């Protein structure tokens, strides 16, 4: 009798799980369709249940939004876990989305200044005509000495079809990209060079997507984004602190 009871309990649990899974799958499919109908250009990467019952988290590139299970309402904002050190769960999702975006851009398209064995890596949206970007470049030897590698992405603040944009295309198309970038930031001439499939536009568009509105803007290894210039020692301090949080 006991065996029969246990078997019935197992069957009940299995059926309940399958029904719940089916409901979740149906709701996710409905949400995806409704979003497609309302926002044709929105490329949804993932839909999954959020920490709040009845609400789904939708990831579209670096953008995180929330949609009710019936796909009636959508909203943006941050979910804060008040019982877990006020952790910003939405920002955690954004960090992972930023890192996925950087991976998609490809390190081979970045201009990298690195020590032989870097302890930390910081990805930087830069503009060759930005004063603080030039200051950061002037301090690159010190930054590298502190064990930090810098991966540059192009972000011409003036936008496409401007002298700064064209200059950055020439830098990213140069045979010696590091030398060309250093020269451009020192206000020295760079040979005009327009190559197919350069990444300047992709970098710029991605920066706009993640909310870059000034340069330099830094993205650390855990996905944390920090706007503005940091002196080498402060840059190292931030990298160290974020690395500790990432492993804790």
Q: What does the alpha-carbon distance between residue 241 and residue 23 come to, in Å, rounded to a whole number?
A: 42
Q: Of the candidates 172, 116, 113, which has an alpha carbon nearest to the alpha carbon of residue 140?
A: 113
Q: What does the alpha-carbon distance between residue 39 and residue 33 come to, in Å, rounded to a whole number?
A: 10
Active site residue 157: yes
Active site residue 173: no
Q: Find how far residue 205's CA is from the centre of its chain.
A: 12
| Tokens representing residue 11 in the block | 């069957």
Q: Is 50 helix (H, G, I), strand (E, B) or coil?
A: coil
Q: Is 226 helix (H, G, I), strand (E, B) or coil?
A: strand
Q: What does the alpha-carbon distance between residue 146 and residue 160 come to, in Å, rounded to a whole number?
A: 35
Active site residue 133: yes
Angle between helix 163-173 and 177-185 (nearest 10): 150
Q: What does the alpha-carbon distance between residue 127 and residue 212 come to, in Å, rounded to a whole number?
A: 12
Q: Is the backbone peptide bond immediately before 216 cis, with ω within 30 degrees of 0?
A: yes
Q: Where are the beta strands (DSSP E) in the chain?
A: 46-49, 55-60, 63-68, 74-75, 80-81, 87-88, 111-113, 120-126, 148-154, 217-219, 225-227
Catalytic residue among 94, 98, 129, 133: 133
Catalytic residue among 94, 127, 129, 151: 127
Catalytic residue among 94, 98, 130, 173: 130
Tell me which residues are annotated as active site: 127, 130, 133, 157
């Amino acid at each position: 009798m006991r065996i029969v009871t246990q078997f019935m309990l197992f069957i009940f649990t299995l059926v309940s799980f399958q029904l719940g899974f089916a409901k979740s799958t149906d709701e996710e499919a409905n949400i995806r369709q409704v979003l497609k109908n309302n926002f044709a250009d929105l490329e949804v990467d993932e839909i999954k249940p959020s920490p709040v019952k009845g609400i789904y988290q939708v990831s579209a590139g670096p953008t995180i939004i929330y949609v009710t299970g019936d796909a009636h309402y959508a909203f943006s904002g941050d979910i804060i876990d008040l019982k877990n050190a006020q952790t910003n769960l939405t920002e955690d999702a954004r960090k992972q989305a930023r890192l996925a975006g950087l991976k998609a851009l490809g390190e081979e398209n970045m201009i990298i200044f690195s020590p032989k064995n870097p302890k930390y890596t910081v990805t930087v949206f830069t503009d060759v005509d930005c004063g603080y970007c030039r200051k950061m470049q002037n301090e690159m030897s010190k930054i590298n000495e502190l064990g930090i590698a810098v991966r540059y992405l192009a972000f011409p603040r003036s936008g496409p079809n401007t002298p700064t944009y064209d200059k950055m295309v020439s830098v990213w198309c140069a045979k010696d990209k590091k030398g060309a970038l250093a020269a451009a930031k020192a206000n020295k001439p760079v040979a005009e060079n327009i190559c197919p499939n350069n990444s300047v536009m992709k970098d710029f568009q991605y920066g706009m997507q993640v909310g870059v509105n000034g340069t330099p803007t830094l993205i650390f290894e855990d996905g944390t984004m920090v706007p503005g210039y940091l002196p080498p020692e402060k840059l190292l301090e931030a990298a160290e602190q974020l690395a500790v949080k990432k492993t804790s």
